[in-house]
Structure 1
Amino acid sequence: MKPILNVIDYSIIIIVLLVTLYFGFRFSRNQTSTKTYFAAHGRVPAWAIGMSLLATLISSVTFLGYPGEGYSSNWILLVQGLMVPIVLLGTIWFIVPLYRKVIGLSTYEYFEKRFGLFARYYSSIAFVLRQFSGMGTVFFLLAIALTNMTGGNTFAIISVVGLIIIVVNLMGGIEAVIWLDVFQGFMLFASGILCFGVILFSVDGGPMEVWNIAQANGRTGFGPYDIDFKRLTFIVMAINGAFYAIQKYGTDQTVIQRYLTAKTDKAAIRASLMGILLTVPVWTLFMLIGTALFVYYKQQPLPEGMRADAVFPYFIMTKLPTGVVGFILAAMISAAICSLSADLNSLAAVGMEDYYKKIRKNRPDKEYLFVSRVFVVLSGLLAIAIGAIYINAGSEGVLGIVFTLYAIFSGGIVGIFLLGILSARANRQGVNIAIITCIVFTAYAFLTSTEIGLGENKSLLLDFGRFNFTHNKLMLGVYSHLIVIVVGYIASLLFPKPELDKNLLFSGWNAARKVRKAEEKLKNVSSGISSL
């Protein structure tokens, strides 16, 4: 692909990068404590938090990974996202006030209060591993796309974007990240709708022809629909998506931290619903872009050997006019910056709350704020390094790699969370046994299903013959959660029933809700009598 950017395109990109830096400096004077640095002191309105939740979950993976999958396959990988509102619309009402009531900043403080220090450190380490693997993927996708589009040096692109992200977080904290997310959210919608519209009406025959050709070539639908856990099927993605929804919105620091920035519980719930309901349409939009691209390039010549996740960048560079190209690339860069900024801030929060404060207790907040910024810098530099390593990734679709890594590093966290909120009988000893069991199972499943080498020289990392793990790797995450639930509950029966703070349980929250409703009803009755 021959780079065709001109001064107008570069100017638009530079303006967006300068706006990004502006947000960091704009809110820098507000960052006087760790509470404002990580939770914005309740200054952010609900609608902005909702847009921030959207931008946190949208990155280069959405911008390039989803079109790549839509181009090369059907919509099966979209099933995970479609499960999010189905699962969460019935649970977010409880999850949000739970965290706002029982934790200070770190999500994993809940795990300690419920099951002790081991559960807290295990869940926070799993989160850190997931974040760094995901950040490396975002950097990789962005760098590869921009290298092909501009002819720039891949590592230089990763470095520049990474340094901008570090500066924004270093100066502006979570408040800058959230308002930058709002800016990026509007750019994302505009760029996605613009691209989809252009592709649809560039196909000979228009939208109906896109549908007909895509359907005839197996690019529509969510199948295969058979019950088979060894292959990537609808049932595998649906089950995986249900657990993903709970894990992301119920145990992930990047999301939970947004709940804490709202002024009230109701505002946090409204923000969460807004983020949930906006995210799925965006994922769908970019998957459909890939489907439309497949049809378009059935009618047009495409260079041989092009990776699926390079097709969308190729279309942008060769078919869109000057200025529009710059805007699309700026939106792509902004999407990556926003997602990575949220990751950096949450990693620093976990590093401070779960580790540094445990080692250095009762220190001045000024020291904690300084160390938090050090964590931001170190996390950013490590993410840049991982992104550089990812340049050597194989030919497998990047979205598939992301989902696989997420499944491996999920580590049964949802199982711990569900035991914590639903079972008053589950205790620390039982859950610790379950975590160890989960670690052993995950190691076994990964080692006996992962091949190394090339061509005929490929071999499993560990070969147990017919006892190898043969199911799809996405099921690895599902099984880890189920193992924690089953083993954790059964093992808990061997130890005394714990004495619990009822606020840590769903049953306690539900009882308190019923009391509040009864009090409100009594108050309304009393008001009616007094008015007579």
Structure 2
Amino acid sequence: MNTAHLHILDYGIIAAFLFITVYFGFRFSKGQKSTQSYFAANGKIPSWAIGLSILSTLISSITFLAYPGEGYSSNWILLVQGLMVPIVLLTMIWFIVPLYRKVIGLSTYEYFEKRFGSFARYYSSLGFVLTHFSKMGTVFFLLSLALANMSGVNTLVIIGVIGVVIIILALLGGIEAVIWLDVIQGFMLFGCGVACLIILIYSIHGGATEAWHIAKANGRTGFGPYDFDFKKLTFIVMAINGIFYGVQKYGTDQTIVQRYLTAKSDRSAIRASLMGVFLLVPVWALFMLIGTALFVYYKQNPIPAGIRPDAVFPYFIVNSLPTGVVGLIIASLVSAAVCSLGADLNCLAAVGVEDYYKRFYPNKTDKEYLKAGKWIVVLAGIGALLIAALYLSAGDEGVLGIVFTLYAIFSGGISGIFLLGLFSARANRQGVTIGILACIIFTAYAFLTSTQIGSGHYKSLLLNLGKYNFNQNKLMLGVYSHLVVIIVGYVGSLFFPKPDIDKKLLYSGWLHVKRNSDISKQ
């Protein structure tokens, strides 16, 4: 991609944002005196701020770059997953929020232990840690490549500078600084996205009407293919995957569940969650439509050859937008990454302290646990920077392979464990342990028999079992892993005694409490 050096005004805007980010870290550092304030803001954040924080946490440079890239090169099928999330959330958020706010301290995975024992807790928390390290490395990687192409600055320098800023923010300001910076970032991202789409539409000869005709004629609209086929990327594959994505993200992901704990009340946390997800879908759609508009624009104004789809939006920003606007948009791109990664560091530290450090070093003071959490923030941040640096040497294909490996192997079945724990009073520790082991075996089989190594004519499967190879779309691997845990875990539980469960850990228990409450109000 051709690089264009930024104007000094653009550099000034970007530097100003980085300064504001560091300021937020110092601004909120005085209040970080306990683990509750550092990880949960003492439950004093208003719902609207938490909602914007949830939005910002789920948006990163992946959204800013990958969604326009997909809209440019394909249709809107990847939006289907996001469209399923509100449906899942509306059915589950009413009891998930009160559940977590009543039964856990800080770690989401404390629920897993109370329901199914320590193995389930360690399996699910380790899955969170590894998958979020993979995500953080990917965000750093994509951001650094985009900024290097737009500014001409060395990629490793970009990784280092932004990494230090993120570590300072998370280290000093805790979750409260991250949330309030998220609020700013949410407005910046949405505003810049709308501005870019409007500029694109007005730059297209014939306007929105002509853009729609050209996009439709070239297969850049719609959510198909609509075949009932699990072997390729279809609407049904994305819809099913979206259901489990919604359950895993809002029911088992520390970055979201920790937000529930920062709210003043159950009702406030529920409002925040609904606000976050109903803003998230329009933002995803906005950046997908930017990609569609980019396709039409460069159909009329041919783009130089050799530019990857995920690099088209940065190319447009640098070469087609005026000075100052470029700086604001790049600052929004950086902001998306900073907020997402800052939240990840804080949540990784919360899991590290609650699930591991307290186990190895019980009976320490809260001040010592806080100190350990801050050390984990620093170490996790350095680890993410190293992963991003490794991605640079691996290349695009290597990055995707690493990310998929971590997600497939270490995240498999977590939604299944959660659903069993919530809805089945018969499921027990022994049965779910068997289900998790079966899931690990299945995931290893599916990954090894569907993943190729090598290049060109020398590609080969990691494990070739002929007609017994896993031949479904890779997104279905995650779906099947959850189903394996649910089915095997439930059947396995039948061979062991029915567990004695605290009713508040079950959906039926929440429903019973709610009915009694409704009756008492009559």
TM-score by length of 2: 0.98
Q: Return closer, same or farther for 1:273/1:398 CA change in 2, 3 Å cut-off.
A: farther
**2:516 aligned partner:** 515
**1:145 aligned partner:** 146
**2:81 aligned partner:** 80
Residues of 2 paired with 1:375 and 1:401: CA distance? 23
**2:424 aligned partner:** 423
**1:282 aligned partner:** 283
Q: Return closer, same or farther for 1:145/1:397 CA change in 2, 3 Å cut-off.
A: farther
Alpha-carbon distance, 1:405 to partner: 5.5
Alpha-carbon distance, 1:43 to partner: 1.7
- Does the CA contact (< 8 Å) of 1:308 and 1:397 recur in 2? no
**2:189 aligned partner:** 188
Residues of 2 paired with 1:133 and 1:49: CA distance? 25
- Does the CA contact (< 8 Å) of 2:134 and 2:402 recur in 1? no
- Does the CA contact (< 8 Å) of 1:70 and 1:290 recur in 2? yes
The amino acid that maps onto 2:251 is G
The amino acid that maps onto 1:329 is I
- Encode CA deviations 1:378-401: one digit per residue, 9 max, x unaligned: 100010111112224555698998
Alignment size in residue pairs: 521
- Does the CA contact (< 8 Å) of 1:147 and 1:154 recur in 2? yes
- Aligned-residue Cα RMSD (Å) equals 1.4
- Does the CA contact (< 8 Å) of 2:5 and 2:152 recur in 1? no
Alpha-carbon distance, 1:363 to partner: 0.4
The answer to whether residue 157 in structure 2 is matched with residue 156 in structure 1 is yes
The amino acid that maps onto 1:456 is H
The answer to whether residue 132 in structure 2 is matched with residue 135 in structure 1 is no
Residues of 1 paired with 2:438 and 2:281: CA distance? 34
- Structure 2 SS opposite 1:391: helix
Residues of 2 paired with 1:4 and 1:381: CA distance? 29
Residues of 2 paired with 1:151 and 1:160: CA distance? 15
Q: Return closer, same or farther for 1:222/1:347 CA change in 2, 3 Å cut-off.
A: same
**1:471 aligned partner:** 472
Alignment of 1:319-338 (within 5 A): 319-338=320-339
- Does the CA contact (< 8 Å) of 1:143 and 1:158 recur in 2? yes
**2:249 aligned partner:** 248
- Encode CA deviations 1:321-357: one digit per residue, 9 max, x unaligned: 0000000000000000000011101100000000000
Residues of 2 paired with 1:404 and 1:519: CA distance? 52
**1:230 aligned partner:** 231
- Encode CA deviations 1:216-262: one digit per residue, 9 max, x unaligned: 00011111110111101111110000000000000000000000000
The answer to whether residue 487 in structure 2 is matched with residue 486 in structure 1 is yes
- Encode CA deviations 1:425-477: one digit per residue, 9 max, x unaligned: 00000000000000001011111111111101111111111111111110000
Residues of 1 paired with 2:396 and 2:372: CA distance? 39
- Does the CA contact (< 8 Å) of 1:119 and 1:432 recur in 2? yes
**1:30 aligned partner:** 31
| Structure 1 runs not aligned, ≥5 long | 522-532
| Structure 2 runs not aligned, ≥5 long | none
**1:5 aligned partner:** 6
**1:530 aligned partner:** none
Q: Return closer, same or farther for 1:72/1:409 CA change in 2, 3 Å cut-off.
A: farther
- Does the CA contact (< 8 Å) of 2:81 and 2:241 recur in 1? yes
- Does the CA contact (< 8 Å) of 1:168 and 1:177 recur in 2? yes
The amino acid that maps onto 2:366 is D
- Does the CA contact (< 8 Å) of 1:65 and 1:309 recur in 2? yes
- Does the CA contact (< 8 Å) of 1:404 and 1:473 recur in 2? no
- Encode CA deviations 1:401-435: one digit per residue, 9 max, x unaligned: 86786455421000000000000000000000000
Alignment of 1:446-461 (within 5 A): 446-461=447-462
- Structure 2 SS opposite 1:201: helix
Alpha-carbon distance, 1:125 to partner: 0.6
Residues of 2 paired with 1:458 and 1:397: CA distance? 14
Residues of 2 paired with 1:378 and 1:321: CA distance? 39
The answer to whether residue 93 in structure 2 is matched with residue 92 in structure 1 is yes
**2:216 aligned partner:** 215
Q: Return closer, same or farther for 1:296/1:17 CA change in 2, 3 Å cut-off.
A: same
The amino acid that maps onto 1:157 is I
Alpha-carbon distance, 1:301 to partner: 2.1
**2:381 aligned partner:** 380
Residues of 2 paired with 1:348 and 1:319: CA distance? 41
Residues of 1 paired with 2:48 and 2:403: CA distance? 29
State, as a whole percentage, how many aligned pairs show the same letter.
69
**1:524 aligned partner:** none
The answer to whether residue 310 in structure 2 is matched with residue 298 in structure 1 is no
Residues of 1 paired with 2:426 and 2:270: CA distance? 29
Residues of 2 paired with 1:434 and 1:403: CA distance? 22
Alpha-carbon distance, 1:298 to partner: 0.4
